[in-house]
Chain A
Amino acid sequence: MEVQRQTNLETFSSKDLEKALQRIKKSIWVFHLNTGSCNGCDIEILDVLTPWFDVERFGIKLVASPRHADVVLLTGPITIKTLPRLVKALRAVPRPRLVLAIGSCAVGGNIWFNSYATLGGFPNIIDKLNELGIIIDKVVYVPGCPARPEAIIYGVAVMLNLIKQKSHYKKVKT
């Protein structure tokens, strides 16, 4: 079912990732994947395409099939019913697999992170996906509820190595 890429899976190194990111800096094609979100982040993604933010000036466009995608925009806390579809869609994305996890649901599971009907966000399934042979080359997490259009643009810039991220782990003593 899956077309074998030229680059062998084992030898897809971080240097290959760098080269791939250089190549797609011109115009990335994004695929929107909704794993059970409330649609708040989804309409902010659509908003990024409209005249006020107009991400098409960067050459970004939405595609209909995961096979044509450079970056997968993932929203939603991954409910138990959407899991098979998620796996199928991610498997169809060619390497390098870049995932932009948008919104508090995709990053940490939001209020239902420990519910019986969700898996609690993207970080919880990365290992399981690796076991199945679906290697995710780079993930960028964009918090927000819903994530602002400007925050999504910032996330895309971090994904393409255009900006260094501002968030870092901090520990302060009282």
Chain B
Amino acid sequence: MVKFVKVIPIAVKVGTVTIKYPYAKPLVTDSFRGAIEVNPSKCTGCGACTRICPPKALSMSIEGETAILRYFIGRCIFCGMCADVCPEKAIKITKEFELASEQVFDLYVDVEHEVVTCKRCGSKFVTSRLLNKVEQKLEEFPKELLYLCPRCRRIEMLSKQTYLR
């Protein structure tokens, strides 16, 4: 009948469990995924992360003379797919969760890349880092075709073939 009074000794035995954050350390485990950090010395601007990001928090755009990889912490869902997918392993998942801010503007992180201009039409089509990487990998590729945007490259190759014929 008075079984419910048993709750009192339970409460006494447990005592206080409160984690007195912020005066004590938070309950973060080893596997926790917080905000990501893009390593500017490794990132080549390939854009693989922007394609897999479900909420499109990572986006790539050409602004003026540079290409910008923009990370919007406000929309990030902290899934870590970008880190899994990056071919250069340039994305690190930190344990940062104290991200509150008064301005949405403060939640953006930009990584600026130099771009290469197409020798034929002048459009900016790829970051210089990515182009150098491709150049290293494809050693026998003719240099005059490398610095052309995909459209111009097709035109150039076609006109070369017909000329040779």
Say yes or no: A108-B97 contact (C-beta < 8 A), given A53-B18, A153-B22, A165-B102. no
Q: B72-80, B133-141, B142-150, B157-165: which one contacts chain A?
A: B72-80
Interface residue total, chain B, C-beta cutoff 8 A = 43
State whether the Cβ of A31 lies closer than 8 Å to any Cβ in chain B.
Answer: no
Q: A60-68, A85-93, A140-148: which one contacts chain B?
A: A140-148
Residues on A with beta carbons closer than 8 Å to the beta carbon of B112: 171-174
Interface residues of B in 61-85 (CB under 8 A from A): 72-78
Main SS of chain B's interface residues?
Answer: loop
Mask of B2-28 contacts with A, CB within 8 angstroms, 1/0: 000000000000001111011000110
Q: How far is the CA of A153 from the CA of B100 in the complex (A)?
A: 10
State whether the Cβ of A168 lies closer than 8 Å to any Cβ in chain B.
Answer: yes
Residues on A with beta carbons closer than 8 Å to the beta carbon of B73: 143, 167
Residues on B with beta carbons closer than 8 Å to the beta carbon of A113: 55-56, 75
Interface residues of B in 90-104 (CB under 8 A from A): 97-102, 104
Q: Is the CB of B104 within 8 A of A157?
A: no
Q: Is the CB of A153 within 8 A of B21?
A: yes
Most buried by B among A51, A108, A121, A142: A108
Say yes or no: A144-B78 contact (C-beta < 8 A), given A172-B112, A174-B112. yes
Q: Is the CB of B22 within 8 A of A157?
A: yes
Q: Is the CB of B111 within 8 A of A111?
A: no
Most buried by A among B27, B77, B113: B77
Say yes or no: A143-B76 contact (C-beta < 8 A), given A151-B97, A168-B106, A174-B113. yes
Q: Is the CB of A110 within 8 A of B75?
A: yes
Residues on A with beta carbons closer than 8 Å to the beta carbon of B43: 174
- 11 A-B pairs (CB sep. < 8 Å): A52-B27, A108-B55, A111-B54, A113-B56, A141-B104, A143-B73, A165-B102, A166-B99, A169-B106, A172-B109, A172-B112
Top-8 shortest CB links A-B: A108-B75, A108-B74, A107-B74, A155-B100, A145-B77, A167-B101, A150-B26, A171-B110
